[in-house]
Amino acid sequence: IRQLVSGLGDDTKARIEALLVGLETPAPAPGPTRLEMEAANRDLARTLHKILKPQTPEPYTGDIDADACHNFIDNQEEYYKVVKLDVSEWVQYTALNLSKDAKSWWRASGLTIASSWPDFKKAFLAFHTPPNAVAAARTALETLRQGNRTVAAYTHDFRRLRRRVPTLDDDTALWWYKKGLEKETSKEVLLRQPTTLEQAINQASLVHAILYPDGPTGYKIKPQPSSDMEVDNLHVAVNNLTAQVNYLARQSNFNHHQSNSNNTPFVYNPNTNYKPSGPLPPKLLKPERDFLYNNGGCYKC
């Protein structure tokens, strides 16, 4: 054919050449249709579900709790994504996973299995979240402090509270997080000027691990100096104890002397420390009384 058209014009030869190239190139094999691809995806999802057996979320009983209701919604969404369930079917399967008070809410909510997932999610969270949950979480978030905990524990509580305040902007959250860190860790993080919360978390974890390699138990406790009143009270307690020891020693010597003079065996009385029939023991000596008086002790006992 190329020899026959060799005498024709250039345009005609170019068109004929293009036709010849198309005839020589084999046509590609037909690919799967859209329906075939959807069926294959469903088969794959069923196979994975059968092999992996993902854990089914626990039913929700209707607790009015901000963390519990958000966790339930998140668990449902994650489960449906794993089993590759179409989003249009999420509501009807979630309704089957409600029990007790949550089931009563579902029947009275006006929602149906044909409702969209965003509508169901919004109504569900609005009902099962306490009315003051956002305000309480915002206050708790602003006053949250790391204290003697690890950065991981502090970050966990911070993220849990921030989840309840979806309207909180990133800059405010970042500032509150840095302010709540342990004093020395907070200084180091502020010097590094992180621009995102994730950067601040990474820097705080690294800095805290360097400053306190032994963890929360490795914190250095600074000794607090004793006040003058505490020192005076300690001196008084020591003086009183000394006087009581001297008093008991004299009682013992006096009783022993009396028993030897009467040629009778000494009988120790634990309640009085001297013989019931004997005279009272002598009082403190004058130097001892003066010492106790000058140092705030009690010599009358």
Give the three-state DSSP class for 197.
helix
**How far is the C-alpha of 263 from the C-alpha of 257, rounded, in Å?**
10
Give the three-state DSSP class for 67.
helix
Q: What is the mean pLDDT of residues 77-88?
A: 89
The total number of residues shown for the chain amounts to: 301
Question: pLDDT for 276-298, tens place per residue?
Answer: 444 455 566 677 777 777 776 66
Buried b (16+ CB within 10 A) or exposed e, 37-56: eeeeeeeeeeeeeeeeeeee
8 Å CB contact between 61 and 100: yes
**How far is the C-alpha of 59 from the C-alpha of 82, rounded, in Å?**
18
Query: 164: how many CB neighbours lie within 10 A of its CB?
Result: 20
Question: pLDDT for 47-79, tens place per residue?
Answer: 766 666 778 899 999 999 988 999 999 999 999
Question: pLDDT for 127-144, tens place per residue?
Answer: 999 888 889 999 999 999
Domain ranges in the chain? Answer: 37-128, 133-218, 228-294
Say if residue 38's pLDDT is above 90. no
Mean pLDDT across the chain:
79
